[in-house]
Chain A
């Protein structure tokens, strides 16, 4: 089950610096661990995260095996216009998950 928790202020003043916090559900299996019988547990991680603000990419991050399960990312942007933030997580084994949040800018 893919679930995400997004925290974006629902309204902001034009020009305000706002914080965006995202938390998504993922095991982030490193690919370095072995089972009891010695076989390697294959890597299964999120490799990329993107945030678009009304279609324009404003934040992107590459993720690596050392990042803990259920990755939490927080970043800042300037509130320019009302609209929508779209979030996308892409990972191993064709993993893809999306979420969105809207904001009203006054």
Chain B
């Protein structure tokens, strides 16, 4: 009896730190901004040099433009985005009651287009979709992230966490192996960050355009030689949700600039 209890205690002591190892304490979390050089920070800091702002301007125009067979613009229902959209992006991906699963901001925009504007969905990573989501998310700049607080979203946060911890691809690496255990080190010339998604959609100098968090996740998956999930796949949304909940309380930076 005591022998088995001892084994159980040992097993418990061995697994518990194993599960918690690597998770970054909340006061040690850092935005990707803090890993960048001074030149790249300067591009983000000044709105007249931040190329992400070009997309925000496009998004502002699209917000007021009537579209679809309903002939309605976003502004016709939501009014001035500066008030109505403040803090919205900080809680996305958010649980959708009708669908019974979380949806990303991009998916929400397309749901709105389908349901209220009777318009065709904008393709993932298209300029118009990125522009609209950048414009909406920019209204949350400086707002603390609250995604994943909804109790109904919890199982999906857990699913995302499991995916984050799960090894995959020919290199057999999990997200956590780099972003929890080895941040601040370098992968070739590039610094490994903590993967706190505070500034999406963001302008990557490497892409020479704005891109979504899903695009970033897919390129990480290609990097470990794994088959990347399709845009909008439930696994990607769950990962996105977990990452946002992991950055809970950190301020939004959209549109951020990253190397």
Contact = CB atoms under 8 A, between A and B. Distances in A.
Interface residues of B, number: 14
Contacts of A13: none
Interface in B178-222: 205, 208-209
B170 interface: no
B208 A70 contact: yes
Contacts of B46: 7
Given A25-B54, A68-B208, A69-B208, A6 B48 contact: yes
Contact of B48 (A23, A69, A70): A23
Contact of B54 (A7, A21, A28, A70): A70
Interface string A23-46: 111011000000000000000000
B57 interface: yes
A3 B208 contact: no
B48 A5 contact: yes
Contacts of B53: 5, 23
Interface residues of A, number: 16
Contacts of A75: none
User: Taking each of B54, B205, B209, which has the highest tally of chain A beta carbons within 10 Å of its own beta carbon?
Assistant: B54
B57 A23 contact: no
A15 to B, nearest CB: 24
A72 interface: yes
B208 A5 contact: no
A28 B61 CA distance: 23
B75 to A, nearest CB: 17
A68 B58 CA distance: 20
7 contacts: A3-B57, A4-B54, A5-B48, A5-B57, A21-B48, A21-B49, A23-B49
Given A4-B54, A23-B49, 17 more contacts: A3-B57, A3-B58, A5-B47, A5-B49, A5-B53, A7-B46, A21-B48, A23-B48, A23-B51, A23-B54, A25-B51, A25-B54, A25-B58, A27-B208, A70-B51, A70-B208, A72-B49
Interface of B: 46-49, 51, 53-54, 57-58, 61, 127, 205, 208-209
